[in-house]
A = this chain, B = another copy of it.
Amino acid sequence: MESPKRVKPYTRPTGERRGLLLVYTGDGKGKSTAAFGLALRAHGRGLKVRIFQFIKHQGARFGEHRAFSALGIPVEGLGDGFTWKSLDLDHSAALAREGWERARVALLSGEWDLVVLDEATYPVRYGWIPLEEFLEVLRVRPEHVHVVVTGRDAPEELLHLADTVTEMRKVKHAFDQGIPAQAGMEH
């Protein structure tokens, strides 16, 4: 007699250990820095961390990059420093799609315990990364993989899928009071 089809073995109750999807959105400061702080914490706990930055360009060397490289955490700038002042949107869009391809592979590989998709809401909002594809990758990723997505205007569907959502709300910003960005604090 053939043994019955293997049933799914006992697994710990849902939630004991599972990858979380966290979203930091809103117009306030602290979205990316919170993601970096989390990366630091996770790294300190022995998790394998990888960071993709969808706006920062490849060669960007901000303070956090230097510190992450000292810790051996890979940070990849995928963008071209795109802002609303960009002159070549087609180029920005192509870069975002290439970058997303790399992030997608990393997410699905299961090799990384925490993947940070910094400022990923923008290419999604601009339509450079199709929202449905973005969500689908998050849905089907290996279940131990934690993901942090940052950026303003996170789409409703992403908030719905997320486990934890924080809105960073700007109450007050130094820049609005004429204080220019300070090295080491804002870049």
Contact = CB atoms under 8 A, between A and B. Distances in A.
A174 B70 CA distance: 31
Interface string A151-187: 0000000010011111111111110011110111101
Interface stretch (A40-48, A80-88, A131-139): A40-48
A59 interface: no
Contact of A166 (B16, B22, B66, B171): B171
A2 to B, nearest CB: 38
A33 B63 CA distance: 16
Q: Which of A18, A63, A183 has the most CB of B within 10 A?
A: A63
Interface string A27-55: 01111111111111111111100000000
Contacts of A105: none
Contacts of A171: 159, 165-167
Contacts of A41: 33, 36, 62-64, 67, 184-185, 187
A114 interface: yes
Given A20-B182, A168-B166, A36 B28 contact: no
- Copy count, this protein chain: 2
B42 A40 contact: no
Q: Top 7 A-B pairs ranked by shortest CB distance? A: A33-B37, A44-B63, A36-B37, A45-B184, A44-B66, A30-B34, A41-B63
Given A20-B185, A40-B40, A113-B184, 10 more contacts: A15-B180, A18-B182, A28-B168, A30-B38, A33-B33, A44-B68, A44-B70, A146-B184, A164-B173, A167-B171
9 contacts: A15-B179, A16-B180, A28-B166, A36-B40, A40-B64, A114-B185, A165-B172, A166-B168, A168-B169
